Amino acid sequence: MASVSVRRTFSPNPHHRSISSPSSLRTRGPTSASIPYHPPLLLRLLIFFFASGIVLGLTVFSSTYEQHPEPEPDREPVIQSDHRPDKLGMKQLNHVPEQKLIIVVTPTYNRAAQAYFLHRLAQTLCLVPPPLLWIVVETGSKTSSETASILRRSGVMYRHICCKHTSGEVKDRGVHQRNKALDLIEHHRLEGIVYFADDDNIYSLELFDRLREIRGFGTWPVAMLTHDKSKAILEGPVCKNGQVIGWHTNEKSKRLRRFHVDMSGFAFNSTMLWDPDKRVHLAWNTIRQLDTVKEGFQETTFIQQLVEDETQMEAVPSDCAKIMNWHLHLDYRDVVYPNGWHLGNNLQPVVPLKL
């Protein structure tokens, strides 16, 4: 009997088969790359407005940084030249008006209210537009440290000097002090308007503005208290159309003095001290205040060295209708100035604390 061979075919082990995921058994649809994606309408609007904002922002910044030429002010034509402009040409180019130097001369001496008066005058002068030079002349062989401290803190350009020459026979001790300042001005040829400003007077800022208008010699009325403080009087010129036509004064002064002016009621150009073309009386070797005259005559005798008559005077202002400074006649001659302002050490309390 013939034998029958049976050949059995073995399939691979089950663990060698790739088991498809359930999703792979599903029928796959079309891929995402084949279908266009359309974002929602709200998202598209947000993207549009965001892009528009960036474009507008860049436009604003680009216009901000554009250099626009500044409009030039109206200027007078300047002649061009190859050489460098001098000082006068530079001033005309920059339109800076030249201001006259005001030279304020203040005599001072040791008394109780000295610091108060100097502080008050310094506060006024520091408000005056420059240039201004304050010449403070102090009596004695040397300047005091208290006065020097006040001047250093004043913010005003100053020169602090002393006057040794004092005479007991001269009632107005400021005569030699003012002459000391005039020596300094003439020696250094300081060109400007000289004004004698005592420390106990009161001055308005308008006065110093008017001083720069003076060309030669200017004068104005001064209000003052009488010595008994009972009434106020005027002393100075009566003016019309810029010309002096008379004087405010009292009956006693009318018979004695030629010019009825207070020491703080006039100012003059410093070049009159040394320039022959500006001086009226060439016979005077030097123009100074006189210590040989009686009290109250220093003003008129000094002015007579500068001008001959009222026609050579300038009214300040043109109608002399404003009071710009006051002379109060505050007298502290019998009270001495305190010896410094520092407290002593180890002072005992008057009212001790109860601990």
Q: Which of 330, 337, 255, 355 has the alpha carbon at shortest distance from 296?
A: 255
- In this structure, which topology does domain 102-327 adopt according to CATH? Spore Coat Polysaccharide Biosynthesis Protein SpsA; Chain A (3.90.550)
Instruction: Enter the pTM of the model.
Output: 0.68
List residues with catalytic annotation: 299
How many beta carbons lie within 10 A of that of residue 89, not counting itself? Answer: 14
φ, ψ (nearest 5 deg) of residue 228: -90, 5
Q: At residue 299, does pLDDT exceed 90?
A: yes
| Per-residue pLDDT tens over the stretch 57-97 | 666 555 544 555 555 544 443 333 344 434 444 444 455 56
User: How many angstroms separate the CA atoms of 244 and 80, rounded?
Assistant: 46
Residue ranges covered by each domain of the chain: 102-327
| Per-residue pLDDT tens over the stretch 172-203 | 779 999 999 999 999 999 999 999 999 999 99
Q: At residue 244, does pLDDT exceed 90?
A: yes
200 is in an annotated binding site: yes
Residue 207 vs residues 118, 139, 320: alpha-carbon distances, Å: 18, 27, 12
**Span 262-274, average pLDDT:** 96
**Residue of 227 and 9 predicted with greater confidence:** 227
| Per-residue pLDDT tens over the stretch 208-222 | 999 999 999 999 999
The pLDDT value given to residue 92: 47
Residue 102 token pair: 């005001």
Q: At residue 339, does pLDDT exceed 80?
A: no
How many beta carbons lie within 10 A of that of residue 19, not counting itself? Answer: 7
The pLDDT value given to residue 101: 98
